[in-house]
Amino acid sequence: MDVQIWTYILVGVTFALYIGIAIWSRAGSTKEFYVAGGGVSPLANGMATAADWMSAASFISMAGIIAFAGYDGSVYLMGWTGGYVLLALLLAPYLRKFGKFTVPDFIGDRYYSKTARLVAVFCALLVSFTYVAGQMRGVGLVFSRFLEVEINTGVIIGMIIVLFYAVLGGMKGITYTQVAQYCVLIFAFTVPAIFISIQMTGNPVPQLGMGSEMVDGSGYLLDKLDGLSTELGFNAYTDGSKSMIDVFAITLALMVGTAGLPHVIVRFFTVKRVKDARKSAGWALLLIAILYTMAPAVAVFAKTNMIDSVVGKSYADQPEWLKNYEEIGLIAWADKNGDGKIQYGPGNAFAGNKNKPMYDAKNRTAIGNRITTNADTAVANELYVDRDIMVLANPEIANLPNWVIALVAAGGLAAALSTAAGLLLVISSSVSHDLIKKVVNPNISEKGELIAARLSAVGAVCVAGYFGINPPGFVAAVVALAFGLAAASFFPAIILGIFYKRMNKEGAIAGMVVGIVCMLLYMIKYKLGWFDATLPSKEEWWFGISPEGFGSIAMLVNFVVSLVVCHLTSAPPKDVQEIVENIRIPSGAGEATGH
């Protein structure tokens, strides 16, 4: 069977499984819709958290960005993994003990203010919509390649699937669907990695195969990739080119952004006890590590095979996979020197925004204004490769069986849809619970609130679909911006809310507003280029820090503003300070100490 038939079979089976679970576990109350009834086991919650956490950015884009950035791509591994440890140890148990449904709920009650709640709702919506844009782009990429539909059509199909089980099942349906999606995505990521590791190095463990000798006796795999990179004019793959301050800033922004992500935090409200929140965090970290330790190996395999099979060879003799991706605009080639061969090196193959290619391979012309065919003859590079295709194309590049190629498609969809569903729930609960129930209409019935939550999810899916069709960049970059927004807004308010009882509403509100505005302005100017005719260069970045890393600066500004304003205004009420004291006392401490 060909790849498309295998894809229809595997994707169809997994989609039927997700929909079946959603019907079986549909939510009948607001508690089931928001926190799955609060009775999920630690292992199931750990698997659901891992699936929620490992989005399209982790499955599709992380190995791709490591493949192109080399050593510099390690910031994503360090930031996202370290951030989860920070979340599990520093925040999750305390937030679970506080016992609220959502992050805006915590902020609204901890800071005894409707204004604080509204600011938190705005921040939650902004972070979630930015994050979900990356997921919908990932869905569109998979559908466009493997089901041979346009990216926009793929996004719409993904919207319908997510809408069905997110609206019907709420957190209860999403949780058990994510357990299934974790199994699918980890199997889909692992199987081709093992195949290719054996194929290239003879070692069945990809994490070890990455540093092993090649089966053809040509030396160590990483040495070969270093040599290929330098021959083509790039830095050695294992050397970094980013400044130390930018590496530190991006890593910190991803870490603290992780600890402020509302769709991950809400997962710890779905278990019965604080102890279960800690257990589920441990399970999730172990399950996440399987993919995260494998991603660098997948990146090395994909980059080496791509260079070997494509670069320097005649375009007429290129393998079918390259032309498949060229037809949907994710690979593009311009024969600058007229030799008919594909040359690859530093610099952009095309003028224009390289992050948004839409290219007609047959007529070699641009679609719209997203990529121009005015090749920059000042650089030798003739090849554009979208970073997000590396994991999806990896089995094809390595000539693996068609069922393995289709399996990766099913895994990519599982990763994107699992996170998209979690984000959509955050959006719907922010509107229905934090905005309507807590601010606009406190007397709304439970049935009315449940209807509002489902209608909010429908609206959120439509907006998410728009961003998936019109993404501001490749998946990992979009997601990194969401982490920066979370770092700039939520992290200081949550940390100070838990560990500093003197922190008051004035300080929290001022800090969140200033932090999110700083991050937004920097992102708009240096990532989206709205204030300039052309996108500003790296030399214009403040302190040499990229937009993906500026969340760490905005976070520090938030902390400073919060603490200064806090000490210039009155202390919070005594009952609020007592709540802060209480959530830091372990459950059962009184019995253990005899008090």
Domain end residue (candidates: 364, 393, 422): 393
pLDDT on residue 559: 96
- DSSP structural state of residue 350: B
Domain for residue 595, yes or no?
no
Nearest to 246 by CA among 556, 560, 538, 558: 538
Same domain, 69 and 175: yes
Q: Which residues contact 521 (CB under 8 A, 6 or more apart)?
A: none
Give 82-99 as a DSSP string: HHHHHIIIIIHHHHHHHT
pLDDT on residue 513: 95
Same domain, 291 and 337: no
Domain for residue 291, yes or no?
yes
Q: How many CB atoms lie within 10 A of CB 153?
A: 15
Whose tokens are 């209409």? That residue is: 441
Same domain, 56 and 147: yes
Nearest to 128 by CA among 332, 2, 264, 269: 264
Same domain, 321 and 416: no
Distance of alpha carbon 572 from alpha carbon 353, whole angstroms: 49
Strand blocks (E) in 113-224:
none
Nearest to 174 by CA among 446, 465, 457, 431: 457
Largest CA distance in the chain: 84
Q: Are 170 and 21 contacting, i.e. CB atoms less than 8 angstroms apart?
A: no
Q: How many CB atoms lie within 10 A of CB 106?
A: 26
pTM for the model: 0.78
Same domain, 498 and 534: yes
Same domain, 448 and 319: no
Domain end residue (candidates: 361, 393, 425): 393
- DSSP structural state of residue 332: E
Nearest to 484 by CA among 556, 377, 418, 404: 556
Same domain, 228 and 324: no
Q: Are 138 and 475 contacting, i.e. CB atoms less than 8 angstroms apart?
A: yes
Domain for residue 518, yes or no?
yes
Same domain, 462 and 435: yes
Q: Which residues contact 560 (CB under 8 A, 6 or more apart)?
A: none
Same domain, 70 and 100: yes
Nearest to 81 by CA among 223, 334, 287: 287
Handedness of CA 58, 246, 347, 230 (dihedral sign): negative
- DSSP structural state of residue 571: P
pLDDT on residue 594: 40
The β-bridge partners of 384 are: 332
Nearest to 138 by CA among 64, 238, 232, 218: 64
Distance of alpha carbon 551 from alpha carbon 544, whole angstroms: 13
Domain region containing 573? 3-305+397-588
CATH number at residue 216: 1.20.1730.10
Structure-token pair, residue 567: 């000490």
The β-bridge partners of 383 are: 333
Distance of alpha carbon 359 from alpha carbon 244, whole angstroms: 36
**Residue 570, exposed/middle/buried by CB under 10 A (0-12, 13-18, 19+)?**
exposed
Domain for residue 362, yes or no?
yes
Same domain, 268 and 332: no
- Return per-residue pLDDT of the chain as tens, 595 residues: 778 888 888 888 888 887 787 777 666 666 666 655 566 788 888 888 888 777 777 787 788 888 888 888 888 888 878 887 887 777 777 877 777 667 788 888 899 888 998 998 888 888 887 777 767 777 777 777 777 777 778 788 877 877 776 666 566 777 788 888 888 889 999 999 999 999 999 999 999 998 899 988 888 999 999 988 888 888 888 887 778 888 889 888 888 887 777 777 777 777 777 778 778 888 888 898 888 889 999 999 989 988 888 888 888 888 888 887 887 777 888 777 778 888 888 877 766 444 444 444 444 443 333 343 444 555 577 888 877 788 888 888 888 888 888 888 888 888 777 777 777 777 777 787 778 888 888 888 878 877 887 788 788 888 877 877 776 555 555 666 778 888 899 889 999 999 998 999 999 999 999 999 999 888 888 776 666 656 667 778 888 888 888 989 999 999 999 999 999 999 999 988 888 888 776 555 444 444 4
Q: How many CB atoms lie within 10 A of CB 470?
A: 12
Residue at 590: amino acid letter: G
Same domain, 207 and 327: no
Strand blocks (E) in 293-430:
331-333, 359-360, 365-366, 383-385
Domain for residue 490, yes or no?
yes
Domain for residue 594, yes or no?
no
Nearest to 353 by CA among 521, 140, 529, 546: 529
Structure-token pair, residue 271: 């278990």
pLDDT on residue 26: 66
Nearest to 454 by CA among 207, 202, 170, 223: 170
| Strand pairing report for 365-366 and 359-360 | antiparallel
Same domain, 273 and 335: no
Distance of alpha carbon 110 from alpha carbon 496, whole angstroms: 10
Q: Are 126 and 103 contacting, i.e. CB atoms less than 8 angstroms apart?
A: no
Number of domains in the chain: 2
pLDDT on residue 167: 65
Distance of alpha carbon 318 from alpha carbon 310, whole angstroms: 7
Nearest to 486 by CA among 267, 255, 195: 255
Structure-token pair, residue 19: 């929909």
Q: How many CA atoms lie within 13 A of 566 on its CB side?
A: 23
Distance of alpha carbon 285 from alpha carbon 263, whole angstroms: 16
Distance of alpha carbon 321 from alpha carbon 392, whole angstroms: 10
Structure-token pair, residue 456: 């909010």
Domain for residue 593, yes or no?
no
**Residue 175, exposed/middle/buried by CB under 10 A (0-12, 13-18, 19+)?**
buried
The helix (run of H) or strand (run of E) holding residue 78 is helix 74-86
First to last CA, the chain: 70
Q: Are 64 and 390 contacting, i.e. CB atoms less than 8 angstroms apart?
A: yes
Q: Are 311 and 331 contacting, i.e. CB atoms less than 8 angstroms apart?
A: no
Domain end residue (candidates: 393, 424, 446): 393
Instruction: Determine the 3-state secondary structure of 242 from DSSP.
Output: coil
Distance of alpha carbon 448 from alpha carbon 426, whole angstroms: 18
pLDDT on residue 197: 93
